[in-house]
Structure 1
Amino acid sequence: MRWIVLAALLIASATPTAASPGAFVLSSTAFANGGTIPKVHECTSGGGHDPGKKNESPPLAWAGAPATAQSYAIVMRDLDNANLIHWVIYDIPPSATSLPQNVEHVYRPSVPMGSRQIYYRGSASLYGYQGPCSPSTVNTYEFVVHALNRASLTNLNSGSSTQTAAATITAATVGSARISGES
């Protein structure tokens, strides 16, 4: 009987859980994982004028990143539209644990200092965040924070595509955490 209890304890301690202390997690004060992304974070394109839509990036915070992280990157995708990439921000310093709401739409935003964003080429052409734009359907959007093994992704620049940036980030990832929302 003692061996069965001991074996059960060993198996339980080796099984990771989503809420394990020290787990790498990503969260937002704007929406719960799997919840509805507020209109303020939706795109402003698509015809008509909705004053609630402002195309502001949501506030994001992370904890429990691998100790080996030398920088961070965030990639946002529309999972229901061929994984279309809506946002890439990278070279986020290792001391950062969050992004504020409404990161500037420029290549080098002032916050977080040193970070860079990829130019979004689509219905709106701009640097940085392009919010959900699904006027006739409800789509799932996923935000992934990547802990990277490099301090800077020097092979990326202001002309890099979102696909190139995402592939470069994936290749340098030592851990990741995600949150998704619907819009």
Structure 2
Amino acid sequence: MNKRLKWALWSAMMFYGAQASANTLFNLQSPAFADNALMEKKFAGNASNNPNCTGENQSPALVWSNPPTGTQSFALIVHDPEGASGLGVTHLVAYNIPPSATGFAQNALRDGKGFTGGKNTPGNLRWHGPCPPPGSGAHHYTFTLIATSLPPTLPEGLTRDALFGKLKGHTLAATGLIGRFGQ
């Protein structure tokens, strides 16, 4: 074979291989916002005891694809590292998500559907939308989906740290998505 033909074949194989690999990555997305984009105000929290909670506390729809082989359950954490003046606020701790799941419909996380709830920073077991104080800028709400080798049998009410302790040695892969919100 001449050098040009060899180069063309090699290039085509490398391009195809890269494309095939990119298409099989464990991936988390939302039809409600792009990665690192602003979330709508309707997804912000709504709590009468907190004037910074100015939204409707709707939870965004999420979809994922290409979980690793051997996944027995998923866990989803939503955390704001800038919250509480840099100490962080956890808005959702969800686990025991069945391996057959491929996402959550809008408001399923708020309504407690399709997962076991863990205790978030505000103290409840479901979605608690963003409530950043005015003037603090757009906070980053990190949605982290973890594929695990654990069956969906963990007890209700685990905190983020307690869940991470249970997942140690049982995580197969993780994927993330960032939504921003500020007032």
Alignment TM-score, normalising by the size of structure 1: 0.77
Contact preservation (8 Å) 1:73, 1:169:
no
2:106 is the counterpart of 1:101: yes
Looking at structure 2, the residues matched to 14 and 104 of structure 1 have their Cα atoms a distance apart, in angstroms, of: 37
**Greater per-residue helix proportion:** 2
Provide the residue aligned with 1:60 in structure 2.
Answer: 62
Measured at CA, do residues 15 and 105 of structure 1 come closer, stay the same or move farther in structure 2, by a change above 3 Å? closer
Q: How high is the sequence identity, in percent, across the aligned residues?
A: 23
For 2:168 and 2:16, locate their aligned partners in 1 and report how far apart those are by CA, in whole Å: 29
Greater mean alpha carbon deviation, residues 8-17 or residues 35-44: 8-17
Partner of residue 167, structure 1: 165
- Residues 1:117 and 2:117 are matched in the alignment: yes
Q: Which moved more, 1:9-18 or 1:71-80?
A: 9-18
* C-alpha distance 79-57 of structure 1, shift in aligned 2 (>3 A): same
Structure 2 runs not aligned, ≥5 long: none
Give the whole-Å Cα distance in 2 for the aligned partners of 1:164 and 1:8: 48
Counterpart of 1:30 in structure 2 is 32
Q: Is the 8 A contact 1:91 1:153 kept in 2?
A: yes
Q: Given the two structures, how large is their TM-score scaled by the length of structure 2?
A: 0.77
Alignment size in residue pairs: 171
Alignment correspondent of 1:47 = 51
Query: What CA distance in whole angstroms lies between the structure 1 residues aligned with 2:156 and 2:88?
Result: 22
| Letter of the 1:164 counterpart | A
Q: CA deviation at 1:170?
A: 5.1
Q: What amino acid does structure 1 have at the position aligned with 2:119?
A: Y
Could you list the runs of 5+ residues in structure 1 that have no partner in the other structure? none
Find the aligned partners of 2:179 and 2:13 in 1 and give their Cα distance.
36
